């Protein structure tokens, strides 16, 4: 069996994993990334980035490539509370004058290529099947390449689980749940041409929500959502009928306007899953992205958080790359910072996902959400003022 040693192994090569690997490799570490999906494939996710996410791509020198992929500039966010519409312009700041919402088929390969360009070794498509441990700490992984069926073993000072909601790494180390949400929302989405390209649109009416996320290829992602329990009851044999019914209820004009142009590609549905925050560090292991912290997509913040935490984790590892107590201490700082920045957003997301609000309360929660994003952006901007890792 093939066996190599690295400074860090990253399990999962989408936004959290590829970004972490890129930063570790840029920092001079020997890094392996193992990703189970085929290169360039889509995943179940809409892709609205918030300011922190766009800022990270800018800081890492990758925003130009997103723009070159003809991902339109989002200059405003429109909130529809019933029939009442409020538009908030995107303020220029921190080198960012517009938001962007690249498809995952653009963003994830871009990050993975940047990791490879920085020197990371990438095994794709290949699946990690188990962790190697010596009873006191994680030592590495065993896996299998799809296609060739070749089995491999890799050891490292640190194994990072960036393997999403059903993380093999989090399960293997039994990462403790620090918070468990109870609210769960369902969302159905598809892609349509011919919609305005310069703004996110979020629409809310009692028990339902909808949104428009303009992206590349002249398309916009149009989603409609409700509480998971209601979705389970309402879902008829036809996903199209359920989607149109939710969209018509949340944003009747939007439902009419997508009727004018044929949808591009299939509808995709997420039935929902309550969120969590798990302990994300231990002897020889760490978690980043959804593997350690998942919240309902209604606040469209998972990718932004993944890009933030990739950097917080990479900086901690680069402080103490050889492992031991110094690494555990640096990782503990990463976990504290992640939790400090994530807690308020987690709570607000829980409340919005419950769909048990009236439009007045919802407006207040969305204002809180906007305020809760500021410390995150400030923390990212402060990284450039701190000594480089």
Ligand X SMILES: Cc1cc2nc3c(=O)[nH]c(=O)nc-3n(C[C@H](O)[C@H](O)[C@H](O)COP(=O)(O)OP(=O)(O)OC[C@H]3O[C@@H](n4cnc5c(N)ncnc54)[C@H](O)[C@@H]3O)c2cc1C
**Of 372, 26, 231, 367, whose CA–CA distance to 8 is shortest?**
26
Preceding peptide of 125 cis, ω within 30°: yes
Mask for 247-286, x = binds ligand X (CB under 6 A): -----------------------x----------------
Instruction: For tokens 């088929």, name the residue.
Output: 105
Among 306, 313, 369, 373, binds ligand X (CB under 6 A): 306
Among 8, 9, 23, 36, binds ligand X (CB under 6 A): 36
Q: Does 304 bind ligand X (CB under 6 A)?
A: yes
Q: Does 349 bind ligand X (CB under 6 A)?
A: no
Q: Does 290 bind ligand X (CB under 6 A)?
A: yes
From residue 332, give the alpha-carbon distance in Å to each of 10, 309, 324, 329, 338: 18, 13, 13, 5, 10
Binders of ligand X: how many residues, by CB under 6 A?
34
Burial class (CB in 10 A: 0-12, 13-18, 19+), 132: middle
Question: Do residues 258 and 247 make contact, with C-beta atoms less than 8 angstroms apart?
Answer: yes
Among 9, 21, 47, 254, binds ligand X (CB under 6 A): 47
CB of 187 to ligand X, least distance (A): 5
Q: Does 303 bind ligand X (CB under 6 A)?
A: yes
Q: Does 12 bind ligand X (CB under 6 A)?
A: yes
DSSP 4: E
Beta carbon nearer to ligand X, 44 or 68: 44
What φ, ψ does residue 239 adopt, rounded to 5°? -65, -35
Give the range of 39-47, 335-343, 353-361, 377-385 binding ligand X by CB under 6 A. Answer: 39-47
Among 6, 8, 9, 14, binds ligand X (CB under 6 A): 14
Which three-class secondary structure state does DSSP give residue 369?
Answer: helix
Among 2, 39, 44, 151, binds ligand X (CB under 6 A): 44
Beta strands in the chain (DSSP E): 2-11, 31-34, 76-81, 84-89, 121-123, 126-133, 138-145, 151-161, 177-180, 185-193, 199-205, 208-214, 219-227, 264-270, 276-278, 281-282, 285-287, 293-294
Mask for 103-142, x = binds ligand X (CB under 6 A): ------------------------xx--------------
Q: Does 96 bind ligand X (CB under 6 A)?
A: no
CB of 330 to ligand X, least distance (A): 21
**Of 3, 287, 282, 24, whose CA–CA distance to 155 is shortest?**
3
Among 7, 17, 139, 156, binds ligand X (CB under 6 A): 17
Token pair listed for 133: 């441990």
Q: Does 335 bind ligand X (CB under 6 A)?
A: no
Which three-class secondary structure state does DSSP give residue 328?
Answer: helix
Among 170, 286, 300, 366, binds ligand X (CB under 6 A): 300
CB of 146 to ligand X, least distance (A): 10
CB of 232 to ligand X, least distance (A): 16
Among 8, 9, 11, 63, binds ligand X (CB under 6 A): 11
Q: Does 352 bind ligand X (CB under 6 A)?
A: no
Quote helix, strand, coil % in the chain, to nearest 5.
40, 30, 30
Q: Helices 104-117 and 15-26 meet at what angle, rounded to 10?
A: 20
Q: Does 55 bind ligand X (CB under 6 A)?
A: no
Residue 80: beta bridge partners? Answer: 85, 203
Give the footprint of ligand X on this chain (CB under 6 A). 11-12, 14-17, 34-37, 43-48, 127-128, 162-164, 168, 187, 270, 289-291, 297, 300-304, 306
């Amino acid at each position: 069996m093939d066996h190599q040693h690295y400074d860090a192994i990253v399990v999962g090569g989408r936004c959290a994993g590829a970004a972490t690997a890129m930063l570790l490799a840029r920092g001079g570490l020997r890094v392996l990334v193992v990703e189970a999906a085929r290169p360039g494939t889509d995943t179940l996710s809409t892709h609205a980035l918030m300011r922190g996410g766009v800022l990270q791509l800018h800081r890492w020198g990758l925003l130009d490539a997103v723009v070159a992929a003809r991902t339109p500039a989002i200059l405003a966010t429109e909130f529809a509370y019933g029939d009442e519409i409020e538009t908030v312009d995107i303020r220029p700041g921190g080198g960012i004058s517009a938001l962007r919402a690249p498809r995952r088929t653009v963003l994830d390969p871009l990050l993975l290529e940047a990791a490879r360009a920085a020197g990371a070794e990438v095994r794709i498509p290949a699946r990690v099947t188990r962790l190697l441990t010596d009873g006191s700490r994680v030592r590495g992984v065993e896996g299998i390449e799809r296609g060739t069926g070749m089995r491999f073993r890799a050891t490292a000072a640190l194994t990072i689980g960036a393997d999403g909601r059903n993380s093999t790494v989090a399960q293997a180390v039994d990462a403790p749940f620090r918070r468990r949400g109870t609210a769960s929302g369902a969302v159905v989405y598809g892609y349509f041409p011919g919609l305005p390209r310069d703004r996110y649109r979020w629409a809310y009416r009692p028990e339902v929500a909808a949104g428009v996320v303009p992206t590349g290829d002249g398309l916009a992602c149009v989603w409609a959502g409700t509480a998971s329990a209601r979705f389970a009851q309402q879902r008829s044999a036809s996903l199209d009928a359920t989607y149109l019914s939710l969209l018509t209820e949340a944003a009747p004009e939007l439902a009419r306007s997508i009727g004018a142009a044929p949808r591009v590609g299939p509808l995709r549905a997420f039935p929902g899953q309550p969120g969590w925050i798990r302990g994300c560090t231990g002897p020889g292991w760490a978690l980043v992205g959804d593997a350690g912290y998942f919240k309902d997509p209604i606040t469209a913040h998972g990718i932004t958080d993944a890009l933030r935490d990739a950097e917080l984790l990479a900086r901690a590892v680069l402080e103490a790359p050889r492992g031991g107590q110094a690494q555990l201490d640096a990782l503990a700082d990463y976990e504290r910072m992640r939790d400090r920045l994530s807690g308020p957003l987690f709570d607000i997301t829980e409340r919005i996902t419950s769909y048990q609000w009236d439009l007045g309360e919802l407006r207040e929660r969305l204002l809180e959400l906007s305020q809760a994003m500021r410390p995150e952006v400030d923390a990212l901007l402060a990284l450039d003022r701190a000594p480089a890792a």
